Amino acid sequence: MTDKQLNILMAAMKLFASKGFDGTSTNAIATEAGVSEGLIFKHFKNKEGLLEAIINYGMEKSSVYFAEVILISDPQKRIEKAIALPFSIDPNDNQFWKLMYALKWQRGEYQSGPFELFRESLIDAFDQLGYENPELETTMIEVIIDGVATQILLKNTDAAPLLETILKKYSLK
Amino acid sequence: MTDKQLNILMAAMKLFASKGFDGTSTNAIATEAGVSEGLIFKHFKNKEGLLEAIINYGMEKSSVYFAEVILISDPQKRIEKAIALPFSIDPNDNQFWKLMYALKWQRGEYQSGPFELFRESLIDAFDQLGYENPELETTMIEVIIDGVATQILLKNTDAAPLLETILKKYSLK
DNA sequence: ATTAAAAGTGAGTGATCACTTACAAATGTA
DNA sequence: TACATTTGTAAGTGATCACTCACTTTTAAT
């Protein structure tokens, strides 16, 4: 990936996250990236392709953290680590996750993939622990993760005490 | 409000919720509403004014439910009712809340108002119950509400068992 | 040094955007 | 009936949109 290619990617991520995909013009991206507008299309084919490149780039960076959770064999620890996930979002990745959550509501197509494996590994964990309804418990974890992500990304709530409260409340401390 | 005015409002809500504000053209709204494009601007001044009208309309309908929670004097019951809120979203209002949640991520300006009063009434409730950190507990409730709303609006999860699980987990049964 | 490919530019392109305007139909009131 | 106001339309408007194209510069391998 060229310097300018990365410039475009970062500029687009910033603008898509703050103004939305449709609210951002390729002209604005080019200006923010310090590049001619034509270059965007040379490298990413079209605006949609640029969005896909951003998501691939961000998910590749993030998939490590998902894998870390999935690979924990102790079910209790796996669940705890899953809950802790949104609390450990690298502030450098805030824009990426804001974009991902914004896309959730109007472009569900970018929601599949790594998330399904993640979900199944949680169902498995609750199953191992003998819970009556592992799917339901997993949905609860997803509720927590989405809710916490909303708080942290949108209202920059102080993460540490919130995490402690959750783990205590869930008798997972 | 005229028939056609309401047509425009509903058509715009539907399209804004599914394609986003910037992803929806006034031409598309007029077509969906079965109305000439000019009429939109006669009634709502501009596209932004139409969005505001939708939000006013939706919040006026919904404020009843928030008020119902706030007016409960028993603190325990008030908290329970607050948690139950996203579970009792009228399916007819799904589009409105999808729009509200989508706007959260790129247009925070539509987030204030009734929500603040709601938050304070929860802090008060936890305070009355002698909790150590009422603000933190209230944030937790907001986490739950946002997470549940995401599940229900986006993945149409079955609401009933999830509500029961949450109330149990929160020892609020 | 030659040269072909890749990176990069800037001035276009038609299409679509939000919005206006001139005018007609409907409505309410005297 | 007369007439002023409101409701509605259709054909525009300039601006901006995503994208293309002809062209130059840079890079890198022989």
Q: What is the pLDDT of residues A57-103, one digit of tens each?
A: 999 999 999 999 999 999 999 999 999 999 999 999 999 999 999 99
Contact A119, A138 (CB under 8 A): yes
Cβ of B27 less than 7 A from strand C: yes
Whole-number CA gyration radius for chain A? 18
For chain B, positions 74-113, list CB contacts with chain A under 8 A. Answer: 98, 101-102, 104-106, 108
pLDDT at A1: 86
Tell me the pLDDT of chain B (173 aa) as tens digits.
Answer: 889 999 999 999 999 999 999 999 999 999 999 999 999 999 999 999 999 999 999 999 999 999 999 999 999 999 999 999 999 999 999 999 999 999 999 998 888 778 999 999 999 999 999 999 999 999 999 999 999 999 999 998 889 999 999 998 876 54
pTM of the model: 0.95
Contact A105, A89 (CB under 8 A): no
Contact B102, B20 (CB under 8 A): yes
For strand D, the positions having any atom within 7 A of a protein Cβ are 7-12, 16-22
Residues 6+ apart with CB under 8 A from B148: A143, A147, B86, B87, B162, B166
Contact B14, B32 (CB under 8 A): yes
Closest to A143 (Cα-Cα) out of B104, B53, B154: B154
Q: What is the pLDDT of residues A100-129, one digit of tens each?
A: 999 999 998 888 778 999 999 999 999 999
CB pairs below 8 Å between A and B: how many? 101
Cβ of B111 less than 7 A from strand D: no
Contact B97, B89 (CB under 8 A): yes
Task: Name the one residue in this structure whose structure tokens are 């949609």.
Answer: A48
Instruction: Quote the crossing angle between the two packed helices A47-70 and A114-128, to the nearest 10°.
Output: 20
For strand C, the positions having any atom within 7 A of a protein Cβ are 7-12, 16-22
Q: A160 exposed, middle or buried (CB, 10 Å; 0-12, 13-18, 19+)?
A: exposed
- Judged by CB atoms closer than 8 Å, whether chains meet at B137 and A19 is answered as no
Contact A20, B20 (CB under 8 A): yes
Q: How far is A147 from chain B (nearest CA, A)?
A: 4
